[in-house]
Amino acid sequence: TGLFTYDSGFLSTASCKSTITYIDGNKGELLYRGYPIEQLAEHCNFLEVAYLLKNGELPNAQQKDDFEVTIKRHTMLHDQMIKFYSGFRRDAHPMAVMVGVVGALSAFYHDALDLQDAEHRNVSFNRLVAKLPTIVANAYKYNAGQPFMYPRNDLGYTANFMYMMFGTPCEEYKPNPVLVHALDTIFTLHADHEQNASTSTVRLAGSSGANPFACISAGIACLWGPAHGGANEACLEMLEEIGDVSRVGEYINRAKDKNDSFKLMGFGHRVYKNFDPRAKLMRKVCYEVLTELGLENDRLFKLAMELERIALEDEYFVEKKLYPNVDFYSGIVQKALGIPTSMFTCIFALARTVGWMTQWEEMMTDPEYKIGRPRQLYVGAARRDVVPIDQRG
Ligand code: CMC
């Protein structure tokens, strides 16, 4: 009848029932399958967390080994996929490349895919989680004009990713364990975050029965925006623009000015009205990485710390409960790791693929699942008749 609840931005609409991730935004609490993110970051590596999200329980030692072997079996990209990269301009944004290449996986794994078959869905999960590091590293190599590195299955998931990113055929590359651990923690912290914009996109796309690889591509497209996953890139660009500690006040004032559209990137969150628990962990990782690399006096890091200090004391940010979010620190860590700014959101997409696929699977096996079809409040013209063109004003 046209009488629907209006909820712009879905501030109060639960779109699904889920058993995967729990967030208490007021307390600043994040649980994956009931486990606090702090404990998972301390005791588990990313693949264990991926297993947990997917299966609902942490793996035992045997299950962990088996899962690692299974994932490694899928790390190679189909050789024809490699040709996709050369269709892009060298300077294409790697997220644009990701949207295209991941979407193209649907052309390779479509006909044989029976979405009603649990094993088929399982293989799709494994393929995506295994291939994303290869796809991301290739996007980087393409941009850098370096040869693609084939995955090395004698390395762990994250160490192999760093090898494919930073290794070259000319010299041996040994990933630094402290830095591997830091990146692995970044993956864990980004693995899932309940019904955020990109996850909702994946669910909505998947609700029509679309190919899962195409659905993940849709999620990547959504993640790209600066209000979502693109914030870490935007945050680092903002720090570069501020340039010096002496200019922090000026930018804080701009963020507070109602007539200025500028927002402090890396601050605020739809759900967290307290410190983002991922940000606290990322802050710790940030110190560890900078210390390991002897970059404690890094200019941007000092600038970020000053920005954080002022914002946390400023009435505007306190009143609106705007705390630093995970992206505020993750960009600084990634930069220190040698990852170029334009790749930050790709790293996020790599990790979030686990969450997207887990959420997709939950939807596909939900007996109440229906195609997602929001309604609207129509506020356009009332019914009217078409006037012949020669009589239109
Ligand atoms: N700087 C200055 N003012 C802000 C900021 C900010 N970063 N964030 C929110 N506000 C203000 C906003 O202008 C609004 O003011 P008013 O009540 O006077 O209209 C008030 O705070 C509430 O904000 P909102 O935009 O209504 O909140 P939202 O839930 O719609 O948006 C957000 C959340 C994350 C999009 C927003 O805080 C933002 O744009 N932050 C910067 C981008 C960013 O860091 N995004 C990463 C999010 S975490 C990673 C992820 O999940 O992808």
Of 122-131, 181-190, 324-333, least confident by mean pLDDT is 324-333
Instruction: Supply φ then ψ for residue 85, to 5 degrees.
Output: -60, -40
User: How many Å lie between the centroid of ligand 1 and the Cα of residue 264?
Assistant: 8
Q: How far apart are CA 303 and CA 292, in angstroms?
A: 19
To the query of whether residue 269 is one of the catalytic residues in this protein, the response is: yes
Q: Say yes or no: CB of residue 322 within 6 Å of ligand 1.
A: yes
Q: Say yes or no: CB of residue 266 within 6 Å of ligand 1.
A: yes
Is pLDDT above 80 for 243? yes
Task: Tell me the per-residue pLDDT of 44-89, one tens digit each, with 9 for 90 and over.
Answer: 999 999 999 999 999 999 999 999 999 999 999 999 998 899 999 9
Of 54-68, 142-156, 219-233, least confident by mean pLDDT is 219-233
List of residues 6+ apart from 209 with CB closer than 8 A: 115
Q: How far apart are CA 39 and CA 94, in angstroms?
A: 32
Return the ligand 1 atom nearest residue 266 CA. Answer: 44
**What's the confidence (pLDDT) of residue 89?**
94
Q: How far apart are CA 270 and CA 23, in angstroms?
A: 11
- Report which protein residue has its CA nearest ligand 1's atom 44: 266
Q: How many CB atoms lie within 10 A of CB 58?
A: 17
- Report which protein residue has its CA nearest ligand 1's atom 28: 270
**What's the confidence (pLDDT) of residue 103?**
96
**What's the confidence (pLDDT) of residue 300?**
86
Q: Say yes or no: CB of residue 345 within 6 Å of ligand 1.
A: no
Q: How far apart are CA 298 and CA 300, in angstroms?
A: 6
Alpha helices in the chain, H assignment, sequence order: 37-43, 46-55, 61-72, 79-85, 94-108, 118-144, 157-166, 177-190, 197-206, 212-223, 231-242, 248-256, 277-292, 299-313, 315-319, 326-336, 344-364
**What's the confidence (pLDDT) of residue 110?**
78
Return the ligand 1 atom nearest residue 229 CA. Answer: 52
Instruction: Supply φ then ψ for residue 155, to 5 degrees.
Output: -100, 160
Closest by CA position to 189, among listed 200, 197, 181: 181
Is pLDDT above 70 for 1? no
Q: Say yes or no: CB of residue 255 within 6 Å of ligand 1.
A: yes
**What's the confidence (pLDDT) of residue 113?**
86
Catalytic residue among 184, 269, 276, 314: 269
What tokens does 134 get? 């290869």
User: How many Å lie between the centroid of ligand 1 and the Cα of residue 280?
Assistant: 19
How large is the average pLDDT for residues 137-145? 96
Return the ligand 1 atom nearest residue 193 CA. Answer: 51
Q: Say yes or no: CB of residue 219 within 6 Å of ligand 1.
A: no
Closest by CA position to 281, among listed 20, 48, 30, 54: 30
- Report which protein residue has its CA nearest ligand 1's atom 4: 263
How large is the average pLDDT for residues 249-273? 93
At 36 the three-state DSSP class reads strand
The per-residue pLDDT of the chain, averaged, comes to 94
To the query of whether residue 327 is one of the catalytic residues in this protein, the response is: yes
**Which whole-number Å values give the CA distances from 245 to 95, 266, 357, in the listed order?**
31, 17, 42
Q: Say yes or no: CB of residue 267 within 6 Å of ligand 1.
A: yes
**What's the confidence (pLDDT) of residue 2?**
62
Q: How far apart are CA 143 and CA 95, in angstroms?
A: 11
Task: Tell me the per-residue pLDDT of 300-325, one tens digit each, with 9 for 90 and over.
Answer: 888 998 999 999 999 999 999 999 99
Task: Tell me the per-residue pLDDT of 335-347, one tens digit each, with 9 for 90 and over.
Answer: 999 999 999 999 9
- Per-residue pLDDT band for 226 (boundaries 50, 70, 90) equals confident
User: How many Å lie between the centroid of ligand 1 and the Cα of residue 334?
Assistant: 23
Query: Taking a C-beta distance cutoff of 8 angstroms, is the pair 223, 94 a contact?
Result: no
Task: Tell me the per-residue pLDDT of 94-131, one tens digit each, with 9 for 90 and over.
Answer: 999 999 999 999 998 877 789 999 999 999 999 999 99
What tokens does 346 get? 């790709």
CATH topology of domain 231-336: Cytochrome p450-Terp; domain 2 (1.10.230)
List the chain domain ranges.
60-227+355-364, 231-336
Q: Tokens 């997917």 label which residue?
A: 54
Percent of the chain at pLDDT > 70 equals 99
- Report which protein residue has its CA nearest ligand 1's atom 20: 320
Q: Say yes or no: CB of residue 185 within 6 Å of ligand 1.
A: no
Domain spanning 60-227+355-364: which CATH class is it, in words? mainly alpha
Q: Say yes or no: CB of residue 238 within 6 Å of ligand 1.
A: no
User: How many Å lie between the centroid of ligand 1 and the Cα of residue 217?
Assistant: 25
User: How many Å lie between the centroid of ligand 1 and the Cα of residue 269?
Assistant: 6
Q: Say yes or no: CB of residue 120 within 6 Å of ligand 1.
A: no
Report the complex ipTM: 0.94
Q: Tokens 């193209």 label which residue?
A: 104
Q: How many CA atoms lie within 13 A of 284 on its CB side?
A: 11
Q: Say yes or no: CB of residue 77 within 6 Å of ligand 1.
A: no
**What's the confidence (pLDDT) of residue 112?**
75
